[in-house]
Amino acid sequence: MKRIYSVLVENRSGVLCKVAGLFSRRCFNIDSLTVGETDDPSVSCMTIVSTGTERTIEQIEKQLNKKLDVIKVKTFHENASVSRELMLVKVKYNKGNRRDVMEIASIMKAEIVDMSKNYMMLQICDVPERTKLLISMLASISIVEVARTGTLALPKCSESEKN
């Protein structure tokens, strides 16, 4: 079972290492990890995606809450959240497949962000499944390089939310 953890932490050096170490010491896998400042520069938000049994998921949340640098931990399911991943993919094209690359980009709502005589760079910001789909669609064309962020996610909006 996959779970998303939104972890507010103090924005200090070493915090990422401590959280990653928690996962490592207990042999929990991190499928995706992103970190960035919030609207408050002294606080960062870590979005961690992990897979495990129900017991493992509970243990991860309990262990995260024990960390001194952790301010707040929110746990939510994929279907109860909005998630996105950013990916840049550079492909080598020729006259014969240039139109195919542009068509795939259009279908997948990927944006062409850079181009030269033989190379094209596409950008997509979508759910992780669609970024994987774009890679598979471009597999028949020569993919040169791929860079992906981890998953970013927030719980879906609700009128009953508390601040």
Q: What is the DSSP string of the chain?
A: -EEEEEEEEE--TTHHHHHHHHHHHTT---SEEEEEE-SSTTEEEEEEEEE--HHHHHHHHHHHHH-TTEEEEEEE-GGGEEEEEEEEEEEE--TTTHHHHHHHHHHHT-EEEEE-SSEEEEEEEE-HHHHHHHHHHHTTSEEEEEEE---EEEEPP-TT---
Domain layout of the chain by residue ranges: 2-76, 82-153
pLDDT given at position 28:
87
Digit-coded pLDDT (tens) for 47-106? 999 988 888 888 899 999 998 899 999 998 888 889 999 999 999 999 999 999 999 999
pLDDT given at position 43:
95
Residue 159, pLDDT > 80, answer no
One fold for both 2-76 and 82-153? Answer: yes
Say which residue, 47 or 160, is predicted with more confidence: 47
Residue 161, pLDDT > 70, answer no
Say yes or no: domain 2-76 is CATH 3.30.70.260.
yes
pLDDT given at position 163:
54
Digit-coded pLDDT (tens) for 16-37? 999 999 888 888 889 999 999 9
Rg (CA), the chain: 19
Burial 125-152 (b: 16+ CB within 10 A, else e): ebebebbebbeebbeebeeeeeebbbbb
Integer CA distances (angstroms), 126 to 106, 110, 116, 134, 152, in order: 14, 9, 25, 10, 10
CATH class, domain 82-153, is: alpha beta
